[in-house]
Amino acid sequence: MKPDDLEASPLTRDGKVLILAYDHGLEHGPVDFDGVPESADPARTFEAATHPAVTSLAVQKGLAEAYYPSYEDDVNLLAKLNGTSNLWMGEPDSAVNWSVDYAAELGADAIGFTLYGGSNHEIEMAEEFRDAQEAAREHGLPSVMWSYPRGQGLKNDTKPSTIAYAARQALELGADVAKVKYPGSQSAMEDAVRMAGRTKVVMSGGSKRSDREFLANVKSVIDAGGVGLAVGRNVWQRENPQRILDALEQVIFEETSVDEALAVADE
């Protein structure tokens, strides 16, 4: 894939992106499934990913191997290549768990890769991203960077200047999409989008909050020039993932207000 081809890839719909993320069983552990025990069943989230608003489902290798063959006609696969458990107590780092070649063999439509800028492991992680990004280009797959500055030197990983830097790192290193935390305001998100240049910016969903608060954050990302969202807990930690996806479809793709989106979701 050439950098200009993102709009033609299955990762986008009308230039917008809604990545459903479900790698939390690895990153956070089973505790994330406590509130809605059915959410521990990967098939439930693969089903949710068949919603037309979802442009891809981000999972680790094991879930792709075990579940994706049953969904490959209805779901676009985003292969989250690296990831580490919450049992790891060292400086932020992430193991590369599958290769781009193997992800492509399993049918991946895009790759995802975490970079912890500012970690003592940033150098190796950036070099691993180089290999993945170049292999993804060869396969014609877009790269999404989970650009998450964190580590010993960073006290606040969501302050505006840090998120703008995270977005810029993604551009500089050749990611097609930068997934960043919400920096607290629309104007700070506008700065991040500006720093990302031709790399598209999506917001990382974050912990579960009320429908209205969550959708208002998403709306401010769209209004700031972001292209969408990569979200996990705010979808599958809800009793009814379909309803919030209906509302997200309105805010992201139809660019409606939060009230309009909620009204459509409740029809």
- The nearest distance, CB 77 to ligand FBP, in angstroms, is 14
10 Å CB burial of residue 127 (0-12, 13-18, 19+) is exposed
Q: Does 59 bind ligand FBP (CB under 6 A)?
A: no
For residue 87, the SS3 value is coil
Site size for ligand FBP (CB under 6 A): 15
- DSSP H helical ranges for 106-257: 122-139, 160-173, 186-195, 211-223, 233-236, 241-253
Q: Residue 79: what are its φ and ψ, rounded to 5°?
A: -80, 105
10 Å CB burial of residue 8 (0-12, 13-18, 19+) is exposed
Chain positions 190 to 209 lying near ligand FBP, rule: CB under 6 A, are 204-206
- The nearest distance, CB 101 to ligand FBP, in angstroms, is 22
Nearer to ligand FBP, 19 or 224 (CB): 19
β-bridge pairing 95-96 and 82-83: antiparallel
When binding is defined by CB under 6 A, the residue of 1, 23, 56, 221 that contacts ligand FBP is 23
Distance between CA atoms of 111 and 1, rounded to whole angstroms?
A: 12
Q: Name residue, tokens 């292999």.
A: 135
Nearer to ligand FBP, 120 or 267 (CB): 120
Q: Does 109 bind ligand FBP (CB under 6 A)?
A: no
Residues in the chain: 267
Q: Does 214 bind ligand FBP (CB under 6 A)?
A: no
Distance between CA atoms of 155 and 159, rounded to whole angstroms?
A: 9
Binding mask 115-154 for ligand FBP (x = CB under 6 A): -------------------------------x--------
Sole window of 3-11, 20-28, 70-78, 185-193 interacting with ligand FBP (rule: CB under 6 A): 20-28
Nearest residue (beta carbon) to ligand FBP: 205
Distance between CA atoms of 20 and 3, rounded to whole angstroms?
A: 23
- The nearest distance, CB 229 to ligand FBP, in angstroms, is 8
- The nearest distance, CB 21 to ligand FBP, in angstroms, is 4
**What is the residue-wise DSSP string for 124-151?**
HHHHHHHHHHHHHHHHT--EEEEE---S
Nearer to ligand FBP, 58 or 224 (CB): 58
- The nearest distance, CB 150 to ligand FBP, in angstroms, is 8
Q: Does 183 bind ligand FBP (CB under 6 A)?
A: no
Residue 179 among the catalytic residues: yes
What residue ranges bind ligand FBP (CB under 6 A)?
A: 21, 23-24, 27-28, 58, 146, 204-206, 230-234
Residues classed as catalytic = 179
